[in-house]
Amino acid sequence: MSRYYTRVCNFYYGSKSKALIKKAKSLPLNGNNLISFDEIEIISRKSIKKLSIKKINDLPYVLKKIVKKDIKLITKKKKFKNLNFKTLPKIMGVLNMTPDSFSDGGKYNKNYLAKKRLNYLFNSGANIVDIGGESTRPGSKPISSKIEWNRIKYILNNFNKKNFLSLDTRKSHIMEKGINLGVALINDVSGLSYDKNSINVLKKSKAPLVLHHSLGNPDVMQNNPKYKNVLLDIYDFFEKKIEYLRKNGIDHNNIILDPGIGFGKNLKHNLKLIKDISIYHSLGFPILLGISRKKFIKELSKKNDSSSRVGGTISSSIYAMMQGVQLLRIHDVNEINQSLKVFKELIK
């Protein structure tokens, strides 16, 4: 029998969503009445079939069983340490304390500038701020733990513990030191493949993590990346990694999924992932999407590209919100929050 995947689609937001749920015409995403859906796609590596949720009972028995199991995960309320997803999306601000990150390298690699930026991101409405001391942009080379730690240690020793900090690192030594100083989330772009000891640090500390997909290390990941089916290959990657995490004692409620836009993907791959991102809801975990200032915006906008790429970030962020994405990783937090507030009012 072919392997089937369930992607929920045709979403509604706000008061319309509430009204449709009340009439039993749509189903809530993650138990949240503010966003719901009334259609699904049943996807295999050979075909795609779209149908209304009302038609699920008409499916053949085995397929119906698979789809209903997926729907149960998709509609179940999500729990996560230090976050609730009653309002979507949550915003993860970006603070790169590096000289060479792809869009803001060198801007905040002095302690007083980083502190000022951190406060600005939280004051602008960031729910989390992701701090990194090593660039993992395409083509970047690894640096030593000592250099990485020296870049970020001031902020981690002096931040307000009421704030929710995420640590963007691939190294278990850095993870452990950050967790001991109050970091609440680990964001490892390697998907825990760079440092074999990372899983032990996470198990011991019970720290939440972002399970991120990338195709190889940053220095080679953009060298002609290939997939049989990017959407389904990454889905299978997540399933295997989740099984690995569970076997190693990582709590189900402490995992966020990130398909890694731009990490070993070309334009075609990135667009497919963003367009059909809602397939990953059937894995039962919150989804994080990092689309801020990414190269795909330049590739699509061409002569209308800009250094900040705020327009492309806003449009893709709103699209992601309407696909039920729970977290967005964003540089321009104030501008994104502004756009989301206006959009939400307009669709009430």
* Active site (catalytic) residues: 294, 329
Place of tokens 């825990």: 192
From residue 285, alpha-carbon distances to 36, 40, 169, 201 in Å are 16, 18, 21, 21
CB-count exposure of residue 136 (10 Å: 0-12, 13-18, 19+): buried
The full length of the chain comes to 348
Burial per residue of 284-307, b for 16 or more beta-carbon CB atoms within 10 angstroms, e otherwise: bbbbbbbbbbbbbbeeeeeeeeee
DSSP state of 303: G
d(CA 173, CA 220): 24
Q: What are phi and psi of 329, to 5 degrees?
A: -95, 115
In contact, 265 and 230? CB cutoff 8 Å: yes
Report CA 98 to chain centroid distance, whole Å.
Answer: 22
Q: Which residues 6+ apart lie within 8 Å of 121 measured at CB?
A: 93, 94, 95, 129, 333
The SS3 call for residue 255 is: strand
In contact, 118 and 159? CB cutoff 8 Å: yes
Enumerate the H helices of the chain as residue ranges. 15-22, 61-75, 111-123, 145-158, 172-180, 198-205, 230-247, 267-275, 295-301, 310-321, 333-346
In contact, 257 and 283? CB cutoff 8 Å: yes
